[in-house]
Amino acid sequence: MNPLERYEPLVDDPRAFRAACEQPLPSVVRTNTLLVSPDRVREAFDESGVPYEPVDWHEGLFRLPEGNPGRTWPHVHGWTHGQEEVSTLPGIALDAQPGDRVFDACAAPGSKTTQVAAAMDDTGTLVANDNNLGRLSALRHNAERLGVTNTIVTNQDARNFSTKPLAFDAFDRALVDAPCSCEGTCRKNPDVVDEWTLDHVHGVAGIQKGILTRAVQATRPGGTVVYSTCTFAPEENEAVLDHVLAAEACELVSVDLPLETAPGVTEWEDETYDPSVRRAHRIYPHHNDTGGFFCAVLRVGGADEGRGGADRDAEVAS
């Protein structure tokens, strides 16, 4: 079974959905604002004769019609980083601030990590964790190339992440860009369709629940947790949220994203989910000419006993 057929009941236009999934994905780069402005990247591309198209909803993103973003000198100098358009959404939703304490639970190879570090102005503390030691080498390379210095790299199973080695007990924000079945990447990785199995969906969903649960537990009351995947499977998206909402003190909150999205689904096959999962965002390839994605924002419950990085910085400055 082609897994894309499985999700046709969820989309508004199945034919357009399938057609978009069969088209190659545009090559996109993100401006590294730690080192340079989007205007300077435009100038560099113009000077080098690199064709580009600005992404209309994000001034720091550029599509490169000829691909090969790593072969431009702005990339070599750390001015740009290859990153899908939809891949920037979790970082936007996280809204990390300078001075924050942020947990990136599944960080390698570091595209979202370095995006978040830039949003933090390379201040505060960003813990970039991954359980795959080999992939962490790519994260370290990307962080160094882009000039990121506020990041601590850890190698733990995020389901059992321990804050003991750190100088604090809780984070202000956490990002869980979870390992998944990846159907949403079919435009750049067509093999995911052929290799897809329902057993894998069910297996990875259990891992996702554990990681998101731990991220909520590790975030202070009043803090923010962003959950994202590149899959269309409700078992890995809404079902994971439903599980954590029932198990932990947290709530789904509404957030505006700068792309056309569809709400989360509250029913799938024989399952029903908490009605608030409609506040999550489903991103389909035919709506924005992007990959497929899922993104949701959780607020950790309880009294807001901690304060964010901006407050801490103000306190220090005074």
Nearest one of 118, 138, 116, 124 to 38, comparing CA atoms: 118
Could you tell me the two tokens for 165? Answer: 């080695």
Q: 254 in helix, strand or coil?
A: coil
- Please say whether the beta carbons of 169 and 163 come within 8 A: yes
C-alpha distances in Å from residue 188, one per residue of 24, 120, 183: 6, 30, 10
Q: Determine which one of 106, 180, 182, 230 is catalytic.
A: 230
| Residue 230 is among the residues annotated as catalytic for this protein | yes
Which is it for strands 219-229 and 281-283: parallel, antiparallel or unpaired?
unpaired
Q: 251 in helix, strand or coil?
A: strand
Q: CB 191: neighbour CB atoms within 10 A?
A: 10
Distance CA(71)–CA(74), nearest Å, equals 9
* Spacing of C-alpha 103 from chain mean position: 12
What residues are annotated to the active site? Answer: 230
